[in-house]
Structure 1
Amino acid sequence: MFENWLPELRRRSLETSRPTSIADLMEEFWKEPMKVFEDFPASRRMAFPSVNIAENDKEITVTAELPGMEAKDVDISLEHGVLTIKGEKKFEQEEKKEQYHRIERSYGAFSRSVRLPKAVQEDKVKATYTNGVLTLTMPLAAEAKSKKIEIRS
C-alpha cells in the first residue's frame, strides 16, 4: 500500500524535471493512506444495522434496517437494558459466473447492541418484520414511567 507512493513521487519529479519539495512530499505522504478509504463504502464504516430509538410516555420503539434478510435469520435478545440484534446476511450467488466490478453491499455475520434509555417490560416486547425493517415495541416498566406529583396546599 505505502510502498508505491515514493516511486510514483520520484517519477513525477523526473517528468517535470524539477525537484520535489518537502511540502510536496508531505502532501503525497498524507494523500496515499487516505486512498484506502476511497473504495470503502460508507455503509461499512457505520454500525450495521442502522437503528432508530423513539420513546413516548407508554413505550420505547426501536426500528432497525435489515434489507435483504429474512426474519428467521435474525436473533434478538434483551438483557439488563441492552438490546442485541444479531444475524448473518448471506451473499446471493447465482449459478452463472458473473464478473463483479464493485461490491458495496455488506455480507456476513453482524451483531449490534444498544442500551435502552429506560427500563422496559421484557416479557411484553413485540417484534415485527416488514419490507426489511425490524420494529420492536417495548412497553415501559412501571418504575420507568414518569409520575406527576401534585402539590397539596
Structure 2
Amino acid sequence: MEEKLKKPLHVKEGKVIKTPSEKNVTSSASGTDTGKTSNDKSMKEKMGEKKENMSNKIHEVKEGASKKTEDIQEGISDVTEEANKTKEEYEKESEKEGMTPAEKVLNDIVTRFRQGTGQINDAISDYNTKPEDGKESKSNKPKKALKPLVDVLETNDTVYLIADISGVKKDNISIGISKNSVELTVKYKEDAEIEDAKFTQKERSYGETNRIVKLSSEVKVHEAKANFRNCTLTITLPKVVEDITKVDIDD
C-alpha cells in the first residue's frame, strides 16, 4: 500500500498559505522597511537643509569679502590721490625755489630740525644764563629776555603773524621779512626802573631777544604791513600768487 504524502498545512491547491508565525515575520519585515524609508527621507531632508545653510553662509562670506575688497580699493585710491596731490604741490614749490622735489624735502627736514634745535637751545639758555651778580638763589634765578609768543594764520591769499609783546614800545620792536620767514627783535629795558634800587627778585624780561618764524608760503615782502596795539603785534603778509598767462592757439 503506497504511503500517501501529506501536504503541509500551508499548501493548498497550489497556493501557499502562510502560517501565523510567517505572517508575523512578514509584517515585521514590512514595518522595518517602512521605518527605514522614513528615516532615509528624514536624513535626506536634514542634509538638504544643511547644504542650503552652508550655501547661504558661503554666499554671505563672499559678499563680505567683496565689500572689504571694495573698501580697500577705495582707500588705496584715496591715498594715491592724496600722494599725487602732495607730489604736485612739492613740484610747484620746489620749482619756485629753484630746487628739485627731493632737494626741497631734504631742505624742509633740515629746516624743521634746526628750528627744533634752536628752541631746545633757547630753553637750555634760559636756565643756564647767570644773573648779574653771579649768584643763584630762590629769589634771583637765572633770567633773560623771553622770546615773544607767536601765532601764524593763513588764508588763501594772506599770512597773518600775531605776537604778544608786553613791556615795550613799538620803537623797540624790529621786524625783518624775507620771502619765507619773519625775524622779530625786541629790546627790553636793561636797568631797573627805580633809581638806586637793586633787584632782589628778577622775573620780567630784560635785554634783547630775537626770534625767526618760518613761513610755509612765499610772501610779497614789499606789501607787508605791521600794527602794534595793546601789547599785540600783528603782521599782514600777502602771499605770492602764481600769474597765469592765457595763450592763444594758432590755427
The number of aligned residues is: 106
Tell me which residue corresponds to 2:174: 75
Q: Which residue of 1 aligns with 2:226?
A: 127
Contact 2:179–2:221 under 8 Å retained in 1: no
Supply the AA of the counterpart residue of 2:234: T
SS at match of 1:60: strand
Matching of residues 1-153 of structure 1 within 5 Å = 39=141, 48-91=147-190, 93-143=192-242
**Greater alpha carbon shift after TM alignment, 110-119 vs 91-100:** 91-100
**Which amino acid in the other structure matches residue 212 of structure 2?**
S
CA apart distance, 1:93? 2.4
Change (3 A) 1:96 1:110: closer
SS at match of 1:110: strand
How far did residue 139 of structure 1 move?
1.2
Q: Does the CA contact (< 8 Å) of 2:179 and 2:220 recur in 1?
A: no
SS in 2 for 1:142: coil
Unaligned runs of 5+ in 1: 1-35, 144-153
Residue 64 of structure 1, CA deviation: 1.0
- Aligned-residue offset at 1:86: 0.9
Q: CA deviation at 1:100?
A: 3.2
Instruction: Say whether the 8 Å CA contact 2:192–2:198 is kept in structure 1.
Output: no
* Higher radius of gyration, 1 or 2: 2
Bigger proportion of residues as helix = 2
Secondary structure of 2:233's counterpart equals: strand
Structure number with higher relative contact order (C-alpha < 8 Å, ≥ 6 residues apart): 1
TM-score, L = length of structure 2: 0.38
Q: What does the per-residue CA deviation read over 1:108-132, in whole Å, with 9 as the maximum and x for residues that have no partner?
A: 1111001111011111111000011
Q: Distance in 2 between matches of 1:89 and 1:110?
A: 8
Q: Deviations over 1:5-62 (max 9, x none)?
A: xxxxxxxxxxxxxxxxxxxxxxxxxxxxxxx8x8567x96xx6011000111221110
Partners of 1:94 and 1:87 lie apart in 2 by 18
Q: Distance in 2 between matches of 1:50 and 1:127?
A: 16
The offset of 1:95, in angstroms, is: 4.4
How much is the aligned-residue C-alpha RMSD, in angstroms? Answer: 2.7
